[in-house]
Amino acid sequence: MSDMFSAVSPHPAPLTSTQLQQMVAIAKALFDLRHNQAYREAIFPEAPEITAFDPGHDSVMMGYDFHLTEQGPVLIEVNTNAGGSLLGWIAFARRFGHPEEMPTSVRARLLQTFAEEWRLFGGGGDCPDRIAVVDENPEEQHLFPEMEWFAELFRSWGVDCRVADPSELTFDGDALRLDGKRLDLVYNRHTDFYLNTPSMTAIKQAYLKQKICLTPNPHTYGLLADKRRLLRLADPAFRAQLALSPEAEAALAGGLLECRLLKDWDREALWAERKQYVFKPVAHFGGKGVLLGKSTSHKRFDELPPAETLVQRLAPPSLTAVEGDKPMKTDYRLFVYQDQVLRITARLYHGQLTNLRTEGGGFAPVDIVET
């Protein structure tokens, strides 16, 4: 537990109320796309087949990550299993002198998102009877204490819950089971977003037969969080086909960075301009495999797979002043359910990419400055 809490920063990151409103507008515009028929029809043929299966509910604990620019906040990434919400609360509580134990009202708001998932799934009663929080080798994950915290939260709801590796789950054709007991809902922290690995087979079978409420799920990931969606949404011509509201178009036009697949570039021209771009593997997450153009060797550049590398215009993180240290790079995360913001937090760090290892860095409170 102490290792995880070392990733809570005491340094507040500033954000204007206008910047926050812009972030919220971008998140809401993206959520609305989930129900945009023209968007769905365009995306399903180019996404993995499982994306088209609609379970009838949404995804809890969505994360929208932003950098600040002179023109306003820009979206860097969308996450469907965003971690750190507990650390974000603790950073907020320490900043404003609140008890670190999350208050009843905030806990209830979190539980309500899971209750709504259960209702939309078609489950009976006010809440499921049994939940599993799943991740690969969960006890080895840095945020395992947060998973345990969620399990305790569900138990306080009167729900039987355990944190488990997905390989522990079995499907008998009628029910997904853990320890022989029927599961009603799985809170998925695993990064196999499309349920392709062998350990996720039982969950995938139950999900496709609508025998489990799986949240987050492949449908939402495929529509909103797969990096390849940014390729389409950053294109004004594509957005013009979607009949977006003027407000949604303005939010996305101002908040999405230029990006294309590497295969669509002239390689020599891109190499000459590489310092203005960042290279991201489309199937990785959490910054894994991300390369800043300014730090990429020609040899490494030549090795990048053209069809699997997203080239995104670089938007450097803003800087937060820190007493007794050099300014820390900063990004901002909105934790969202549907179109409702649950919390905003910042992440402070030194180095090329976001990390939780910087001394004095980590999840940080956000000071909203009125404008």
- Name, in order, each residue with C-beta under 8 angstroms of 224's C-beta and a sequence gap of 6 or more: 30, 31, 33, 34, 62, 78, 80
The whole-number pLDDT of residue 19 equals: 97
| pTM across the whole model | 0.93
Q: Helix, strand, or coil here: 119?
A: helix
* Residue the block writes with tokens 């365009």: 42
Measure the CA–CA gap between 332 and 140, rounded to whole angstroms: 26
Structure tokens at 286: 């959490």
Residue spans of the chain under pLDDT 70: 1-4, 284-288, 371
The whole-number pLDDT of residue 288 equals: 67
- Terminal alpha carbon distance of the chain: 38
- Name, in order, each residue with C-beta under 8 angstroms of 246's C-beta and a sequence gap of 6 or more: none
Structure tokens at 90: 């603790």
Domain 128-215 class?
alpha beta
Measure the CA–CA gap between 64 and 334, rounded to whole angstroms: 5
Q: Helix, strand, or coil here: 217?
A: coil
Task: Find residue 131's DSSP bridge partners.
Answer: 161, 185
Strands 62-69 and 176-178 come out as unpaired
pLDDT in tens, 275-305: 999 999 887 665 567 899 999 999 999 999 9
Strands 213-215 and 291-292 come out as unpaired
The whole-number pLDDT of residue 28 equals: 97
- Ordered by start, the domain boundaries in the chain are 128-215, 259-314
The whole-number pLDDT of residue 3 equals: 64
The whole-number pLDDT of residue 2 equals: 47
Q: Which residues of 177-207 are buried (b: 16+ CB within 10 A; e: fewer)?
A: bbeeeebbbbbbbbebbbbeeebbbbbbbbb
Within 10 A of 124 (CB to CB), how many other CB atoms are there?
A: 10
